Every structure is written in structure tokens, then in C-alpha cells.
Chains A and B, each alone.
Chain A
Amino acid sequence: MANVTLRNVRKTYPGGFEAIKGVNVDVADGQFCVLVGPSGCGKSTLLRMVAGLETVTGGEIDIGGRIVNQVEPADRDIAMVFQNYALYPHMSVFNNMAYGLRNRGMKEAEVKTRVDEAARVLELTPMLERKPRQLSGGQRQRVAMGRAIVRQPKVFLFDEPLSNLDAKLRIAMRVEIRKLQRRLNTTSIYVTHDQLEAMTLADILVVMNGGQVEQVGNPLAIYEKPATTFVASFIGAPPMNLMSMRADEIKSQIGNSGDAGILGIRPEDFVITDQTPVGGVALPLTVEAIERVGAETFVYGSRAQDEQRVAATPGELPPGEVIVRIPGSEAPPIGQKIRVAALRQKLHLFSGDGRTRIEA
């Protein structure tokens, strides 16, 4: 049981490349923290720094009130689940899980109790004597989890643990991991590039980009109020529609808006209607493509340049591709002209460089 605090953590590689540019994150005891971001954003590096597998070149990593910058991985009281599982191929499942305990000089009886308990929880009991190569991907994944939980560490670290599994198994394991973490109530840090995984698992979500934290917070709060255009387009699928506009243009259409330069609207916040809501925006579209996925339909629409010139009524937006999410029962034919609108409170405003959210 421990909280994990990162204070202004930096990582500069010997070549001068700055992978982590000063990160501050505070994970409370028992919380599930997810680091999410595109590949190369530094999220794995950050996790490996917490694990002690990468050196820290600046700032402090604090696990349970102890600065661990100089502490060996084995002495940090953490356990890690790797993307490729990293099971010892020549050891049986039992020995894979017992190895870390035996290295710490634990009595064999206690080792057996703990491994048997973990195997029972993870439904691995019939496979204890098998070698990793005789297991399926999902089973290997569970062995890797087992190796982490037998240690009863202060912190679990997960490095994209589900990305080698197929889609169905991934969802099942996602639920398993969450249930297990709730039951053990162990502080966890989880790295993924999958925003859906991030949204569903996290108590506290850290969105990273280019070695920096873009936003930290409750996943739903981040979804509802993304702090930057990067977060707005990264969290949520399909991504938020972002439209660059001149400040006076925005002002003329939706009134007081500070000096916003970018307007964002989530696909699900549009409705097909001929009305223009008060203070909101409306948008005539030509349907370019539709995707019907059952429960919902995604409409990919565009506004032609010449049409824009003709029909510039107040409350209408400039051209560009726009994604609209509508109920699955509806499907406008391709080529049809439709008109969509969004309410004032559903609009997101950002500064022109996309780095600041503007509340107006």
C-alpha cells in the first residue's frame, strides 16, 4: 500500500534527446493510474523509470514516502507486467511465479501457499507444471499477472500488457485486471496507447504527448473538458471535430468567446436538424461516407467551398471534414445534403495554438 508521486521527473538520454520533460503526477494509495498517449510520447519510459529500469536524470520518484531514484528495481517493492510477458521459458508456471519469492529467501512453504493462492485466483491451478510455451497468449498473460501478485508489492506496473492479445480476450482481461486491482487495492500504474482501455481502467488518467503531461484527472472529466486540442482529439473515438477559425469569426457566431481560435465539437453532440439552437452552431453537410456499426452510425460529411460562400448565415461554420455520430437506425444516403447543429454548452473552445482551453 503506497502512493506514488512523480516530482518534475526528467529523462535526457546521453545523446541529448529529452524523452521526459518534467512530469508531475500524484497517484494516491490504491488508485489505478493510466498513462496514455501516442507511441513515442514517453509513457513507457516514464513507467520504466518508476520501475527502476531506466535512470532518472532529473526530479524525484517517491514510492510510499521514500525517494527511490537510486534504489534497485528489486528493492523498490514494485512488480511489473511486461508487454511480451517476459516469462522464463525454461521454468514451469509454478517456478515462474515462485522465482522472485525464492530470490528473497522466502520459506518454501510460504512460497507454495502464495503461488497456489495466486494460481487459484487466476484459474491457473491446472497449469502450474506446464512450461510457458505450452500456454495460450491469455494464459501467459495471467501467469505474468500471477508473478506480479504473489509478491504482494506496494505498486503494480503494467506496460501495455494486453496489446499482444486478440480483441475479444483483451476486453475480457481488461475487466479481469480491473477486478483484481480493486480486490487487492494495490496502487497501479498502467501504460497503454489504447484510449478505450485508458478510459475504462483509470481512476486517474494521465494523457501524455511529446514527453509532457497534457492533462491529468478523472477520465470522464477529461473527456468532458479536455484541456488542449491534443487531448480533445486523442480521447474519444471517433475524435472530436476541431475547426480553426478567426477569433472575430467565433465571436460573431456564438457571442462572447474570449480569444478562442479553435472550435471543437464531439461527433455525438451533433443532431440532424433544420433549426439553429440559440447560441449554438449549425452546419450544412454533404454526406461523403457512412459507417454503420450497429448501435450507431458515423457520418463523414464535408462542406464544399462554393457552398460556403453562398450560404454564410449567422451560426454556420467554415468548411472542412466533419464526423457526426447518429443513432444506428438512421443512415442518410451518400451525396445527400443534411444540416447538423450543436448546442452552445456542447462546444469546446481552445486558443489558436490549441494549448489552452477557454471557458466562456
Chain B
Amino acid sequence: MVEEEGIRRYIAHGILWIGIAIVAFPVYIAIIASTQDNALIANGQMSLLPGGHFFEVYYQTIFVGTSGSTREPVGNMMLNSLVMALAIAIGKIAISIISAYAIVYFRFPFRMPIFWIIFITLMLPVEVRIYPTYKIVADLHMLDSYAGLALPLIASATATLLFRQFFMTVPDELLEASRIDGAGPLRFFWDTLLPLSRTNMAALFVILFILGWNQYLWPLLITTRDDMQTIQVGIRKMITTTDALTEWPIVMATAVLAMLPPVFVVVAMQKLFVRGLVETEK
């Protein structure tokens, strides 16, 4: 790294601090607001210092929910979101790695057409095919269920392509050595390919978990029961009230809680994540 000297370094640092402030200030406001009294916020007299209602607001948020709009404990919403995000992340990785394995290592009729069909689905995200997908899920009686939340989002061209690219960099001799060592296709996959893909899987898991956690449109469409709501949908519903005051401390507490799992996943898997993006272990 080049050492910048004197004034230029201060300018660079100044710009970085401004950037950090722009990103961090709303988060700070959310945290502060979640510890204040609702009446103060409603009056527009919110202080920029923490208020004294931290425990009571978070207790109510997690275990009770708003008294007006949703009445659903956020703890339950988080559980729903967590199940959905994990199912999407793990399901996507499982399906993609298997399809990539088939496409790279096996010769079967229509192999390339199948690959291209998978490739084309890159152009068809859920938002584009939302009506037919909804119809299928509804006909399968999966509305208001975890299966309905996760299944349509599991098939993934991106992850399949990523694993395909990785598998193609694995030297053929490894497969040949495995064959001579008496390992069949399943054993080669389990004993050699999976361990080699570890960092790739970790990187994908981080990305896909956050993708799943942040789903909004799809859960909004297919869940109608309050106890199946995900946290992202819940926040939105809390804000709109018909006849009462929006309970801002609870909304903000929910927002803060919604941020925690992705942050936790990124922090916990950061090392593997970065390794998965920058290096391939061979």
C-alpha cells in the first residue's frame, strides 16, 4: 500500500468518515428510537441520546408485538425468517452443487441443452414469474407454509454456474486418481469434491442467507396468516395503522432485530467468505 503523506491523508480519512457517518447515522437513529417513549417520537421531540425504555421496548417487541397493527411477536417473525433463509441457502447450495456435479462430470443425452436451460433461468427471477409460481404453490396447497416460502426460491442458476466453474478448475487427474483408488462417483463427490468446495459453499451461504432473509415480495404474497409472517413483511405492516399511532419504538426495535442475523452470519463466516471469493484451494 502506498503511504500518503500529510494533508492528503487527512482528506482521505475525512471522506471515509463522512461515508461512514452517512451509512451509520440511520442505524444509530433506529437504535436510539427503539429506546424512547413513543409519545416523544410522535411529537417530534426525539432525543439523539438513548432513552430509558430499552428493556421494556425489546421485551414487548420480541414476545408480544405491537398492540395495534400486527399483534404478532417479532420473535415468531424472526423464527419464520430464519427458517426461510436457512432453507433457501442450504437448499440452493445442495441442489446447485448436485446439478453442477452432474453437468460437469457425467455424459448423458441433452447435457448441454439442460445446461443452457439452467443458464436461461438466470433471466427469470421470482419477480418475473411470480404469477405462475404463485399458482403452482397455491395448487400444491403450500400457501402459508415454510415449504411454500422456501421451495420456489431454491432452484438457482447462479449457484449452479458458480459450482460448475469451480469444478472445471479441479484437475481431471484427481478424478482419475480416485477411480484408480476405487472411489465411485458418489465417493469422489463426497470425499474429494465436497471438501474442496468448502470455501465456495461458505461464500455462497453468506450471500444466499442474506438474500433469503431479505425476501419481501414473495413472503408478502403467499403468507396471509399472521403467525407465518416474516420479519421484513412484519416491519412494513407495523408502520401502517388505520386508527392508532404508529408504535415507532417497536418498529425501530424490529428493524434493529432484523439486521442482527445477517450481521452475525457475515461476521461469523467472514474468513471463509473472503477465502471463497479470492482463492481456490487446490
List of A residues within 8 angstroms of B192 by Cβ: 88, 90
Interchain CB contact under 8 A, A78 and B191: no
Interchain CB contact under 8 A, A90 and B195: yes
Pick the residue among A52, A74, A82 that contacts B173 (CB under 8 A): A82
Residues 81-102 of B, flagged 1 when their CB comes within 8 A of A and 0 if not, give: 0000000000000000000000
Interchain CB contact under 8 A, B196 and A78: no
Interchain CB contact under 8 A, B281 and A74: no
Q: Does B243 have its Cβ within 8 Å of any Cβ on chain A?
A: no
Q: CA A147 – CA B177 in complex, angstroms?
A: 10
Q: Does A168 have its Cβ within 8 Å of any Cβ on chain B?
A: no
Interface segment out of the listed B34-42, B181-189, B215-223, B257-265? B181-189
Known contacts A74-B181, A99-B191, A103-B187; A53 and B176 CB within 8 A of each other: yes
Q: Does A86 have its Cβ within 8 Å of any Cβ on chain B?
A: yes
Instruction: Report the tally of A-B residue pairs with Cβ distances under 8 A.
Output: 59
Residues 291-332 of A, flagged 1 when their CB comes within 8 A of B and 0 if not, give: 000000000000000000000000000000000000000000
> Which residue of chain B has the shortest Cβ distance to A90 in the bound complex?
B195
Interchain CB contact under 8 A, A86 and B174: yes
Q: CA A128 – CA B18 in complex, angstroms?
A: 53
A residues 44-82 touching B (CB-CB < 8 Å): 51-53, 72-74, 78-80, 82
Residues 5-36 of B, flagged 1 when their CB comes within 8 A of A and 0 if not, give: 00000000000000000000000000000000
Residues of B within 8 Å of A, CB-based: how many?
Answer: 18
Known contacts A99-B191, A103-B187; A86 and B173 CB within 8 A of each other: yes
Interchain CB contact under 8 A, B180 and A51: yes
Q: Does A100 have its Cβ within 8 Å of any Cβ on chain B?
A: yes
Known contacts A53-B176, A80-B177, A84-B171; A103 and B183 CB within 8 A of each other: yes
Pick the residue among B173, B174, B179, B196 that contacts A73 (CB under 8 A): B179
Known contacts A80-B177, A99-B191, A103-B187; A86 and B182 CB within 8 A of each other: no
B106 to A: closest C-beta gap in Å:
16
List of B residues within 8 angstroms of A51 by Cβ: 176, 180
Most B CB contacts (10 A, CB to CB) among A72, A79, A88 go to: A88
Residues of B within 8 A of A (CB): 171, 173-174, 176-177, 179-183, 187, 191-192, 195-196, 198, 281-282
4 closest Cβ contacts across the A-B interface?
A: A100-B181, A86-B173, A74-B182, A103-B182
Residues of A within 8 A of B (CB): 51-53, 72-74, 78-80, 82-90, 99-100, 103-104, 147
